[in-house]
Structure 1
Amino acid sequence: MAELHPLCEPLAPLLGTWRGTGRGSYPTIDDFDYAEELAFGHVGKPFLSMVQRSRDALTGEPLHGEAGYLRALPDGAVELTVAQPSGVVEVDAGSVTKTSDGLVVELESAEVGLTSTAKSVTAVRRRLEVAGSTLVSELWMAAVGEADLIHHVRAELSPDRTSMG
């Protein structure tokens, strides 16, 4: 395997596959529980790959997925590009802060692109926090008629080498 690019060193605590459960809500839908798998990898370049999948906690039916790249910049900033099969594409910008036992990545959308059939999403905010052996992933969005960023999902994940299949 390639060595981790020096610019990605602050992001190293994210590397690997994380699994756990979460809860979601939004004014336009019923609250829901889900299982999540979030994987970060690298190829020695100044970015991490990211693949996220979630399933209904009770039925196992797929709910959501996305793939993208978390880019590390020389000034310590980060950028995230994400594509979703629902027709939403994000370009996010933010920061990474090292903590005593992990890191915090905070991102806000700089651009949101939509296909002609995608639901309206106008803004996104993401937060990833690694504290020891726990990764908390949260997302806020302004979508489907809601003008303000509203908390949508929060998952608590643990390192795991298995996959959801």
Structure 2
Amino acid sequence: MSFELPYDLSPDLYPLAWLVGTWRGPGVLAYPDIPERPIVVDVELTHDGGPYLAYTSTISLLEGALPDREQQFDPAALEAGAIWSRESGFWRPSSAGEALPVAGAPADAPSPSGLEVIVAEASGAAWLFTGSAQGPRVDIASQHVGRTATAADVVAQRRMYGWVRGEIFFSIELAAFGHELQSYATGRLTRSAPGA
């Protein structure tokens, strides 16, 4: 795993340092009653020296063809169409409780670090996630969701982010509209700018 450690990054954030930056990539969104569609995902994780990362993410419908899974892609060449969803929040390490090891982590992986993530969606939902970061992988699951009166009927989420050969692969599972927790969006991101 190769990345530049920001010089003024809080030591609390070292387990998440590989995430700092601006990321972009293709993915696929599909859920019961939502036809499968290609998407473009833009993610930014920044810091200001405090013990947290500021987070924003936009999912847009992809205009044009989805790059082959094995093919390298130019993030600037991905043409974003209509915005599907937007969210922002904060990621912060937590020492409260004991972080559970990440499933499938190698035996010599660093000890897991606890993680708390707070996310607000433009669609009217606010999420509190807890989980862990272990080596180049983050696993978080929703603990609480607050919804406005007009927000969609979403009840749970689980997310995974993993660094593989210089890219972040992600998956988002969702329980909503009376459906059990299941795959909602998957894709891969490449760094388009280093973090501040």
Whether TM-score is above 0.5 comes out as: yes
Aligned match for 1:107, one of 140, 145, 157: 140
Q: Which amino acid aligns with 2:143?
A: A
User: Normalization by structure 2: what TM-score?
Assistant: 0.76
- Distance apart, 1:60 and its partner CA: 1.1
Percent of aligned pairs sharing the same letter: 29
Task: Kindly tell me the number of residue pairs found equivalent between the two proteins.
Answer: 157
Larger-gyration structure (1/2): 2
Aligned-residue CA RMSD (Å): 1.6
Q: Which residue of 2 aligns with 1:8?
A: 13
Q: Which residue of 2 aligns with 1:53?
A: 58
Name structure 1 gaps, 5 residues minimum: none
Q: Which amino acid aligns with 2:19?
A: L
Deviations 1:34-62 (A, max 9, x none): 11111100111111111101211126111
**Conservation of the 8 A alpha-carbon contact between 1:2 and 1:43:** no
Task: Give the alignment of 1:1-165 within 5 angstroms.
Answer: 3-58=8-63, 60-74=81-95, 76-98=113-135, 103-146=136-179, 148-161=180-193
Deviation larger for 2-11 or 62-71:
2-11
Distance 2:128 2:50 in 1: 19
Q: Which amino acid aligns with 2:86?
A: G
Deviations 1:6-57 (A, max 9, x none): 1100100000001110001101211111111111001111111111012111
SS of the aligned residue for 1:119 comes to coil
SS of the aligned residue for 2:193 comes to coil
- Distance apart, 1:83 and its partner CA: 0.3
Distance 1:154 1:62 in 2: 17
**Conservation of the 8 A alpha-carbon contact between 1:106 and 1:126:** yes
Q: Which residue of 1 aligns with 2:70?
A: none
Q: Which amino acid aligns with 1:36?
A: V
Q: Which residue of 1 aligns with 2:102?
A: none
- Distance apart, 1:132 and its partner CA: 3.3
User: Normalization by structure 1: what TM-score?
Assistant: 0.90
Distance 1:49 1:9 in 2: 15
Distance 1:142 1:92 in 2: 14
Name structure 2 gaps, 5 residues minimum: 1-5, 64-79, 99-112
SS of the aligned residue for 1:13 comes to helix
Aligned structure 1 segments of 4 or more residues deviating by more than 6 angstroms = none
